[in-house]
Amino acid sequence: MLVMPNKVQHSGQKVLGVFTLAMINVAAIASLKNFPVMAEVGIALVFFYFVAAIVFFIPTALVSAELATGWPSTGGIYTWVKQGLGGRWGFVAIWLQWIENVIWYPAMLAFVAATVSYLFAPELAGNKYFILMTILVVYWTCTAINFLGMEASGFISSVGAIVGTIIPSIIIILLTIMWIMSGKPIHISFNLHAFIPQMRHIDDFVFLVGVLLALCGMEMSAVHANEVKNPQYDYPRAIFLSTVIILVLSILGSLAIAAVVPRVQISLVAGVMQAFSAFFEADHAIWLTPILAIMIAIGAVAMVSTWIVGPSKGLLQTARDGDIPPFFQHINKNNMPVTIMLVQGLFVTILAFAFLLMPTVSSSYWILSVLTAQLYLLMYLLMFITGIRLRYLQKHIKRAYSIPGGKYVGMWIVAGCGSLAAFSGFILGFFPPSQLPTGNIWFYEGFLGLGTIIMLLLPLLIYSQRRKSWQLK
């Protein structure tokens, strides 16, 4: 899932074990929202997930772990890239982390809107105006709640993660197992031919971008690496354990939807509820559908509420360093960056109208998800380059965790593999998926191309205008 800069406690206590750190990763990344995206490709999703895990998921975790234990600062990606590539690119990195979250909010809240529609009128899941209004109402409500401080936001996040993500994930997997064992019809083929994606056209591989986005966020836990009892051994074990759990939940959850809902009917925003409806209708327990809808909506809203403030606080650090005007340094009595959060809300409101410009809700959801992934992957590219560069520039800095393989070879292999995956995913995003109607090709390419260029040039322009007087004394 997505990155939230966390405050590192420098108490010196080694309090985190393998299981605890693994659960931090699972809570940050696993999301039901991602299940319908991969359900579109059927059993081939297993292939996509394993490839993404090897070339991107694990390299991300290992490189960020080394950077976090070498430079354990609350600035996270901003501090790391600033050390390796300079202040300008450090600002670009934190900007990309912030803006990709902003673009992600409408896509995530579209999932909330589609889920909520199952409480009273499931057909509204495909209504663009209902989706738009729900996005705006829920987002600004969450923003208002976050103005109250981290205590209120933290409570919502804790309850939502359990009620709305973990429990429904387990339920949908168990129901699918019961569905298959009872002999009910399934809509995917379990054979080797279906497992390997067809390699006839490049647009058949575009859903790999969705997998990369689903597996983003592992670097979030890296800020806790100094609190692990034995970083050199326990951190890789925690990475392995969380990788297995996340992949199992993601693969089985996605397969559950693919097995129960015909491929041509899968909605990227309502696929989870489509599967639950099919389960409960078959067992004459349709009354359970609204209950699951409420639970899932709570989890999704809680996730949005959590991330609204996280990236904003990351950008607040750059304001205090003088990278953006002092206007953005303003915080309220609850220590929340209200100015940045209001500007963030304006961006979200504008982006939400993309749902009125695309032919279907699913295609709108996809194009926003791709733009999110592309910006996020550019940030990762900077992180991987930083990992390699700091091995040369600051080799004297002690890292509690270092990637095995000598002074340079191991880092080059791991970060090089991650860089190649990030760059490949970025390029793939410009190809419309063969499984989805995306409308006018010029609008699709223009939206992604101009969106990426503008969001990359903006931080460079802003940084060029920085003033020494902007720095917080």
Residues 153 and 275: their CA atoms lie apart, in Å, by: 30
Q: What pLDDT is recorded for position 5?
A: 37
Q: What secondary structure letter does DSSP report for 433?
A: P
3-state helix, strand, coil in the chain (%, to 5): 75, 0, 25
Give the residue with greater pLDDT, 273 vs 207.
273
Q: What pLDDT is recorded for position 222?
A: 61
Q: What pLDDT is recorded for position 376?
A: 92
Q: Is 16 helix (H, G, I), strand (E, B) or coil?
A: strand
If you average pLDDT over each of 294-298, 325-329, 404-408, which comes out highest?
404-408
Q: What pLDDT is recorded for position 11?
A: 43
Residues 274 and 260: their CA atoms lie apart, in Å, by: 9
Q: What secondary structure letter does DSSP report for 397?
A: S
Residues 271/36, Cβ–Cβ less than 8 Å: yes
Q: How many residues does the chain have?
A: 473
| 208: its two tokens | 């790999």
Q: What pLDDT is recorded for position 419?
A: 96
Which residue carries 């939400």 as its tokens? Answer: 352
Architecture of domain 18-470: Up-down Bundle (1.20)
User: Residue 295 above 90 pLDDT?
Assistant: no
Residues 92 and 34: their CA atoms lie apart, in Å, by: 27
Q: Is 438 helix (H, G, I), strand (E, B) or coil?
A: coil
Residues 169 and 246: their CA atoms lie apart, in Å, by: 11
Mean pLDDT of 282-302: 82
Residues in Cβ contact with 406 at an 8 Å cutoff, skipping those fewer than 6 apart: none
Q: What pLDDT is recorded for position 7?
A: 38
Q: Which of these ranges, 60-69, 197-206, 260-269, 459-468, has the smallest mean pLDDT? A: 197-206
Residues in Cβ contact with 145 at an 8 Å cutoff, skipping those fewer than 6 apart: 152, 153, 156, 305
* Per-chain mean pLDDT for the chain: 81
Give residue-wise pLDDT tens across range 365-391: 778 888 888 999 999 999 999 999 999
Give the residue with greater pLDDT, 41 vs 378.
378
Cβ-based neighbour number of residue 282 at 10 Å:
14
Mean pLDDT of 397-410: 88
Give φ, ψ of 159 to 5 degrees.
-65, -45
Q: How confident is the model at residue 224 (pLDDT cuts 50, 70, 90)?
A: low
Give residue-wise pLDDT tens across range 310-347: 677 778 878 888 888 888 888 888 878 889 999 999 98
Residues 421 and 8: their CA atoms lie apart, in Å, by: 29
